[in-house]
């Protein structure tokens, strides 16, 4: 595997890359894909200070991103940040890209004043990989809301003290 660098300055082509990563992730609905695309377009149009949307891209030189994360401070909290999105190209999973993205998310969040990182996910079976991933990185379930997204589909909130 070639060297994969992390980049945190979004570029105009990143909208298409994020659409591809989210569409091929296998768990996100078309409505969720649309929201992920809106976040990057907003960030490109209005900048970091106005949106609070931090992005990280994992990529080899001159190649499309193989993974991305989006995160930021939770409005009206003093030191709590949220991971909004993370996805790694299905063909590149299991090689530590997600772990590297999360390590840098945590580093940047802590540098920005975060004392805790929160992650909302689903209790659905197809999110089992995501839940195992967060647990392996030291996140613990702080709350679970039954029948939240839909009957039988709970919201699971993970938390980690930074
Ligand atoms: C979750 C996701 C980002 C993980 O990315 P990744 O690059 O494959 O993860 P890594 O290779 O860095 O794995 C780190 C650790 O997570 C755990 N993990 C990762 N995939 C796992 C799996 N399929 N089953 C169990 N544990 C897993 C392991 O403990 C792994 O450490 P190890 O390789 O030393 O065993 C990726 O699977 C993905 O994009 N999923 C679809 C999108 C998604 O669900 N996003 C989150 C929505 S809330």
Q: What is the DSSP string of 10-68?
A: --TTHHHHHHHHHHTSSS--HHHHHHHHHHHHHHHHHHHHHH--EEEEEE-TTS--SEE
Mapped onto helix, strand or coil, the DSSP state of residue 86 is: strand
Q: Is 102 in the pocket of ligand 1 (CB under 6 A)?
A: no
In residues, how long is the chain? 162
Mapped onto helix, strand or coil, the DSSP state of residue 109 is: helix
pLDDT of residue 103: 98
Q: Which fold has domain 4-114?
A: Aminopeptidase (3.40.630)
pLDDT of residue 148: 98
Taking the CA of residue 93 as reference, the ligand 1 atom at the shortest distance is: 8
Distance between Cα 87 and ligand 1 center (Å)? 9
pLDDT of residue 1: 58
Q: What token pair was written down for 22? A: 């989210």
Taking the CA of residue 94 as reference, the ligand 1 atom at the shortest distance is: 11
pLDDT of residue 132: 98
Q: Is 22 in the pocket of ligand 1 (CB under 6 A)?
A: no
Give the DSSP H/E element, type plus range, for residue 155.
strand 153-161
pTM: predicted TM-score of the whole model, two decimal places: 0.97
pLDDT of residue 45: 97
Residue 36 CB neighbour total at 10 angstroms: 22
Please give the DSSP secondary-structure letter assigned to residue 123. -
pLDDT averaged per 10 residues in sequence order, the chain, 162 residues: 89 96 96 97 98 97 94 98 98 97 98 98 98 98 98 98 98
42 CB-near residues (< 8 Å, 6+ apart): 51, 53
Q: Residue 92 half-sphere exposure, CB side, CA atoms within 13 Å? A: 22
Distance between Cα 98 and ligand 1 center (Å)? 6
pLDDT of residue 6: 97
- Closest-CA residue, ligand 1 atom 19, reads 133
- Closest-CA residue, ligand 1 atom 15, reads 133
Q: Is 91 in the pocket of ligand 1 (CB under 6 A)?
A: no
Distance between Cα 157 and ligand 1 center (Å)? 17
**Cα(16)–Cα(21) distance, integer angstroms:** 9
Distance between Cα 14 and ligand 1 center (Å)? 22
pLDDT of residue 61: 87
Taking the CA of residue 26 as reference, the ligand 1 atom at the shortest distance is: 41
């Amino acid at each position: 595997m070639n060297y994969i660098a992390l980049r945190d300055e979004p570029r105009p082509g990143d909208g298409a890359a994020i659409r591809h990563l989210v569409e091929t992730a296998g768990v996100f609905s078309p409505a969720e894909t649309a929201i992920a695309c809106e976040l990057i377009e907003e960030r490109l149009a209005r900048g970091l200070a106005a949106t609070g949307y931090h992005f990280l891209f994992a990529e080899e030189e001159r190649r499309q991103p193989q993974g991305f994360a989006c995160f930021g401070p939770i409005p009206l909290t003093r030191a709590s940040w949220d991971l909004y999105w993370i996805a790694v190209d299905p063909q590149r999973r299991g090689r530590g890209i997600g772990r590297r993205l999360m390590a840098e998310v945590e580093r940047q969040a802590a540098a920005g004043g975060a004392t805790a990182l929160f992650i909302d996910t689903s209790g659905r079976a197809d999110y089992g990989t995501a839940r195992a991933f967060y647990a392996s990185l030291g996140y613990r379930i702080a709350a679970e809301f039954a029948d939240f997204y839909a009957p039988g589909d709970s919201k699971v909130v993970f938390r980690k003290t930074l």
